[in-house]
Chain A
């Protein structure tokens, strides 16, 4: 099993540009989570999906952020337009059915720098 795969590993962009982060969850997992990690705020849950449907997006900071899950094996997190304060490490994680007592499997993260 390849685990949760995120791309790109690093992204450097200029303020105002669109950024798209990608995630492939573990096959068979039906929950997908997007987290953002910064020194100041720690790990923040942005949004999570169940069976490709967004369940809770209350952590999405602004309308500039959007997330989609068009199928069970792919999700994107888009920031448009990006701002320097969006600089952070973005993690995708997945878990299996019955997630209430299941563990999360994390990807390696995308280090985003907005200049």
Chain B
């Protein structure tokens, strides 16, 4: 399977705490993206990091990328109940195609 793996599969934290999710992938990539999916809805893009970048910030989101380890992490700081959702990483390989391959996802639950 080309799918990436994410861990943990599920995460439950208290409001105000930080949430960290990890993603590992298998191929050489052009970029890695993180998406969020609320229950019963489509995925929404959060942030994109290119293969030549190591860290990127957007609001309460911080993404890191380690291409030598083929891994990425998503940190959500000061989490809110509204952050409760599933989070997926997606990679676009260097193979010349535009196939976005999604990881298995992390289900985050933020308790108020």
Contact = CB atoms under 8 A, between A and B. Distances in A.
A109 B42 contact: yes
A56 B101 CA distance: 13
Interface in A14-73: 31, 33, 35, 42-43, 45, 48, 50, 55-56
Contact of A45 (B33, B88, B101): B101
A55 B100 CA distance: 13
Nearest to A50: B98
| B contact face: mostly helix, strand, loop, or mixed | strand
A106 B43 contact: yes
B42 A106 contact: yes
A4 B31 CA distance: 23
Contacts of B100: 33, 45, 93, 104
Among A35, A43, A48, A106, residue most surrounded by chain B Cβ atoms (within 10 Å)? A43
| A contact face: mostly helix, strand, loop, or mixed | strand
Contact of B98 (A35, A43, A55): A55
Interface residues of B, number: 24
B88 A43 contact: yes
Contacts of B30: 100-101
Nearest to A106: B42
A48 B102 contact: no
Interface residues of A, number: 24
B64 interface: no
Interface of B: 3, 30-31, 33, 35, 41-45, 48, 50, 88, 90, 92, 97-105
27 contacts: A4-B42, A31-B98, A33-B100, A35-B102, A42-B3, A42-B103, A43-B88, A43-B102, A43-B105, A45-B99, A45-B100, A45-B102, A91-B43, A99-B98, A100-B98, A101-B30, A101-B31, A101-B50, A101-B92, A103-B33, A103-B45, A103-B48, A104-B33, A104-B90, A105-B45, A108-B41, A109-B41
